[in-house]
Amino acid sequence: MNFRQKILHGARVLALLAPFASGALHAEEVIVAVAANFSAPVQKIAAAFATTTGHKATVVVGSTGKLYAQIKNGAPFQVLLSADDEAPTRLGKEGSAVAASQFTYATGRLVLWSRQAGVVDDKGEVLRGGRFDHLALADPKLAPYGAAAVEVMTKLGLAASLQPKLVQGESIGQAYQFAVTGNAALGFVALSQVMVDGKIAQGSAWVVPAAMHSPLRQDAIVLNTGKDKAAATAFMAFLRSDAAKAVIRSFGYEV
């Protein structure tokens, strides 16, 4: 290869690398508000997102109701991953988010879970026996999974009898903490919180039939603070990718 050919070859290599170099130079951070049930999957997705795009996703976890209130009070989140489809829709209608960006990234599943093996049967009959002190659930006013748990108890005709045993967490994350620490013998939690690599990692569980409560459609939306931000746009695109969907499915969600 003569000198002129080397120069041309070098120019071609630089041209091929230019888009990647440009992406690295213009890497941004996106602040993502995430419903508590999705905290484990989003950590894996954020790591893969950073490796793939060069952008950084900073995750803030909380109940959907609390995150909504924080957004309305000016929190600097750029993307919301909600535990329902109502909060993103409301934010879009109120002019706080880009309505056209909203889509369902996952459909969640509710599970009745105990950290101890053999406690929860595969039909949830343990609820009728009442041989437990406390039943944890997320606050139904703040968390869609908590509202779904109330629907299930009502459908079973157990809402009144179980009321004295209920222990409410602000979010599904706190409800899970009550159950995993043993402060509550049972807990209505998200399947994603107790599933690892497609299997329930420990204890005993009843995966509640989806027909027993309103669908747990979880929507994502770009907030006004993320409009026209490269990292926010890239994160939403990555959330639709096969790589992200594989992670989401591995935690028991439907995509």
**Residue pLDDT, tens place only, 243-254:** 999 999 999 999
C-alpha distances in Å from residue 171, one per residue of 13, 29, 54, 137, 210: 51, 26, 31, 8, 20
* 186 and 116 within one domain: yes
Domain count, the chain: 2
Statement to judge: residues 130 and 170 lie in one domain: yes
Asked if the structure places residue 223 within a domain, the reply is: yes
| Domain limits for position 230 | 26-107+217-250
**Would you say residue 212 lies in a domain?**
no
pLDDT for 1 equals 54
Is 17 inside any structural domain? no
Mean pLDDT to the nearest integer, 149-173: 96
pLDDT above 70: residue 19: no
Residue 12 reports pLDDT greater than 50: no
Percent of the chain clearing pLDDT 90 (strictly above): 85
Nearest to 171 by CA among 196, 150, 144: 144
What pLDDT digit, counting tens, does each position of 196-244 carry? 877 888 999 999 999 999 999 999 999 999 999 999 999 999 999 999 9
Same domain, 39 and 118: no
Tell me: do 56 and 181 sit in the same domain.
no
Contacts of 52 (CB under 8 A, 6+ apart): 238, 243
For residues 173 and 229, membership in a common domain is answered with no
Is 169 contained in some domain? Answer: yes
Residue 191: its pLDDT value, please? 95
Same domain? For 202 and 126 the reply is yes
**CATH assignment of the domain containing 167:** 3.40.190.10
Tell me: do 125 and 149 sit in the same domain. Answer: yes
pLDDT interval class at 26 (50, 70, 90): confident
- Give the pLDDT confidence score for residue 5 in this predicted structure: 46
pTM above 0.85, yes or no: no
Residue 39 DSSP symbol? H
Same domain for 79 and 160? no
Task: Determine which helix (DSSP H) or strand (DSSP E) holds 154, and give its type and residue range.
Answer: helix 144-155
Tokens standing for residue 148: 């779904």
| Residue 94, in any domain of the structure | yes
Q: Are residues 187 and 222 in the same domain?
A: no
- In a shared domain, residues 77 and 197: no
HEC profile of 4-23: HHHHHHHHHHHHHHHHHHHH
Mean pLDDT of the chain: 90
Provide the sign of the torsion angle of the four alpha carbons 94, 100, 106, 107, taken in this order.
positive
Separation of alpha carbons 214 and 202, rounded Å: 27
- 115 & 180 share domain: yes
